[in-house]
Structure 1
Amino acid sequence: MTSPAPAHRTRRTAGGFGPREGRRPAHRRLIPAVLAAALTAVVVAPPAGAVPPLDVDSQLVDEVGVLDEAVVTAAQEELEQAAGVQLYVVYVDDFSGAEGDEWSIASAERSGIGSDDVLLAVAVEDRKYGLAVPNALGLSATAQSQIRRTALEPELSADDWSGAVVATADALGAALTGAAPAPGPAPGTDGTGTTTPAATSSGGGGLTWLLLGAVAVGAFLLFRSFRSRSRTSDQRPTGPGAPPPPVDLDTLNTRASHALVRLDDTLRGSEQELGFAQAQFGVEATRRFTEVLAAAKKDALAAFTLRQRLDDHIPETDDERRTMLTQILQLCERAGTAIEEQTEAFDELRDVQARAPEVLDETEQRAREVAARIPAAAQALEALRRTYPASALASVAGNPEQAEQLLDAARESVEQGRQSVTDGDRAAAVVAARTAENAVEQAVHLLEAVDRAGTELAGASAAIASGIASLGSDLDDAARLAPRDPAVQAAATHARGCVTPRVPRDPGATRSPSCTTCARRRPSSTERWSPLAVRRSRPSAPAPSCATPWDR
């Protein structure tokens, strides 16, 4: 049995839910919409345009790919169990220029949807929707309007496509089962969207009263809609920083089950991969993969244990289930990622094996290029020694010599690899090539450390000078604000000992921080970095005999 013709349904003028951005406030949009709808219902009925309907062959048609199938299907099943009504959901890009209700009604009739079923159609790009509700369900026009305004439109306006279906299904179920009785028919209707004779009587007085009633109804609907939208906006965080809505438990449970299946397949394949790799490259070259695979098996065991706890006869709370399902997903992701990284490393090894002669030649050329940088690094290190003490350069002092040794070892590995290629042992050639590559890279890091040393030491000197100046200002404040506070003065005394200048005063001469004779000397040019040294400057005097090695 097909649905009646479209003329019996209450029509919406636009059948849309507004643009994504730049929408006018609700009270400014609803006033003209309500008045226009009232006047249109009295003056003229909109023509039913010919639109290409869609032959719906299932309860869920998502041509746009914006719906969460599990969430929508669950809402549809719940409505059917509660009210015996099937909700057909159709999401498309546009309605080919047709209005939403016309398109949804035509699609419902062409598809042969039952007289006690509902079709919800949404055009995502057109920002329109249609809700085809047959008269046989007994929902009044006011009840349908309330479902649209309070359940469907707020979710569509927020681009919550799956939420719109869930909210509509819940509202339909409540209205049909009496869980939340909808208001009765509006004056002038018979509860089915058909205008009564009393409402269409001729005469200026009847029309005037009808218009006044429409304005009153519009004001009431405006107030209700404004309150509803305000509550919705308060309850749902919006904006770029708003957290995404939580995933429902059913969807989370499905994801966890799929993740366990994928991880089990990955472990089986990885065991075979490890066997092939050990035969190809040897046990030592595959040791890391062996360790990663063992750790992945432990994660898999923990994940399957959680799954068994969820499936046993002991019930868990919703919060406990959510926590356990989230842990399963995290364990599966960690294990899968680690195995994938090792698989990629084996792919690189196989590439090296296939290109062993070329890789060995490239590594030898790279070693020659790095060796050419060693003399410049040695000269830079010698220049740093003339500026900074040996203790400041201890971490890079031997880098040029160590780099030379590493490059010698790389050259030896290259020769061993070539011999292995000649002997037909590609696996040994791969090991030699990797050893040579690692040696060259270590040499590069050592020389780069020498290049950075000058900049890092200069930056450290400036940072120390800035810190000493700041602490000196704090000491002045302490002396001015709390000169008799024992705790403050004890801390100030300790701080003065920390900031006492410890830089050389003259070339070849240093001083002891505790020597008062040194403290009275005029600071040399190297001491200008310390503001405290400048403040304590005095006329120059001969270098004291208490000079000690530089203490940093």
Structure 2
Amino acid sequence: MRSAGPLLSVRPEPVDAPRSTPIDSRHRLRGEGHCRMRSVRTGSIAVAVLVALTLLQSPAAAYAEQPVEFGASPVVDTAGALTPDEEREVEAAIDEAADRSGRQLFVAYVGEFEDPADAGSWATETANDNNMGSEDYLLAVAIDGRAYHLSAAEDASLSAADVDRIAVEVVEPHLRDGDWAAAAIAGAEAIGGGGAPGGGLGWLWIALLVVAAAAVVIAIVIARRRGRAGAPPAEGPPPVPIDELRRRAGGALIGADDAVKTSEEELGFAVASFGDDATADFRAALAAATAKVREAFGLQQRLDDHEPDTEAQQREWYAGILRLTEEAEGLLDAQADRFDALRALEQNAPQALAEVEASIRAAESGIAPAAARLQALSSQYAPTALASVADNPEQARARIAFARDSASEAAAALGRGETGAAAVDIRAAEEAADQARLLAAAVERLAADLDDGDRAVAAGIADLDADVRTARGMSDAALGGLADRVEAEADALRADLGRAGRSPHELAARLDAVNREIDAAIAGARDAAVQAQRARAELDRALLSARSRVQAAEDYLVARRGAVGAEARTRLAEAGRLVVEAQSLTATDAARALAAAQRADQLAGQAMSLAQRDVGGFGGAYGGAAAGGLGVPQGRGASGGDLVGAVLGGILIDSMLGGGRRGGGFGGGGIPGGFGGGRRAPGSFGGSATRSRRGSGGRF
């Protein structure tokens, strides 16, 4: 379902990954070598995406591995990374760290990650398949793929910041040097280097803690005395670089924004089936999470503005973004289990499949009228005025193709009795059909906005005519020349308004410029009532333009969120906030309302430009999508264009493209803005980590 306003987002997660694990899986995993049933499907969407995208990329793939099983040893090495002696050293380091801290590290060395193809999802699936518990940590390394991920349970005693630090500062340097054994040994030592004690240390551990606490107190006292004496304080660990904080914050914003968008869509499906009363708690959680994400975007906007910020301010605001996004996703995750129980797609899969097939047919029926409407609009308006919907019919067809294929996969899975796999495909079909409906509806919505824009410009031209008459009736001779110039511009605007190829927004900008000039010249000649009326008319035009551009940018982003980065989302979030602010001030402070509306209009235009840049980069990096000049032929069985469109729409994500994610951060890579990680198929109500583990990693 679509949002009524901007910035309500989504991040799907696999529905069949286990949410709970045994409290102590370490001893069973190390003591037993029995086989385990795999809990996720290895075909269907994932394989199709990988095959399709392989055709889009020319380099030959290295040897790839699906998630592995651990037996008696905490080390699996299918890539031949370790010698026998090195493997024994790694196992000894892992055992020693586990005995010391109660935290167990498992290490997997493979050639390439496959099914799923990104490091985070591969590590999560491996951990879930092996029933890893709260204090089980997994270091997954793709030797040939030059990617890795350090995975931890959501309730692990090590914080997300600790895991990220160990991954980036302890493990990754050894991986870059190709010292695979040292990476695992250093990781095990860092993981076991502190925190909650494992069983059996008893009073010795308490004594060590007391000694350590005393040492800390003494160090603080000495440092303070040195500070008073002018001596430099003892150096601590280096602070996280600002660029690293910026990368983490950007990734966290994308993840949380997508989580809100997916949760909103899922909530829309649930409301349609169960009504408002049954979904009230989920609406409240979504509203609270959305407020936190908007607040986080507000901090990012402060960082992005033109005012210089001190390093302390930057660190404070980036920390605020990370805290707010984590809190937002936590609010959604807290409701995820109850939401899944409400929808119960696995139990109601046949009925849900019938409903989604009807939804696909309804969404498809709207594409042809939208295409015809777009064709008609193209004969009236400039390409720039239609840029946000220019490829919508083609994108909608790609989503329908994907939805139909997903529905067929769901039917086949039901025929095999695989209700979990069917539920995943049903969710994919639901979201694809919903995006197709949004893409078609956006054309008609833009048409209405453009028509409103035409009428607003016409009304503004009439105001200019009245201003010209007022100026000519005044005794000030200098106003005569201004009246002539304004009259000529009004005539030009009137002529352009009747021509094909116009842009109402550009005409409105010209109108506002000349209107401000003549308003300033004859303001003293008007009475207060007339001035207020004209100010309100100008405010109405500004609000109409801002709302239209914000809505157009929101429609564009929602259906292409798989490629849109944090910068565009930040501008759109701020534009949406300013529109709400302007609307709230219209009755009490028209001047502030006008300024807010004009700034919102400007930011919405920037958001659209940035989003289009990101989508263009997405097409360039992966052979294009089904629209917008990205040019991949349609047909899942042939080129996989509809699959790339599903990735573009955020239905399938960058895990299929081999994207890396480091501690929630996004950066580098070939795709501007990056993609959200952590999931491999459409998911349910919840944050980006729902039914997944947290962790850190990337390329080395």
Answer 1 or 2: higher relative contact order, Cα 8 Å, separation at least 6: 2
Structure-1-length-normalised TM-score: 0.30
| Higher Rg of the two aligned structures | 1
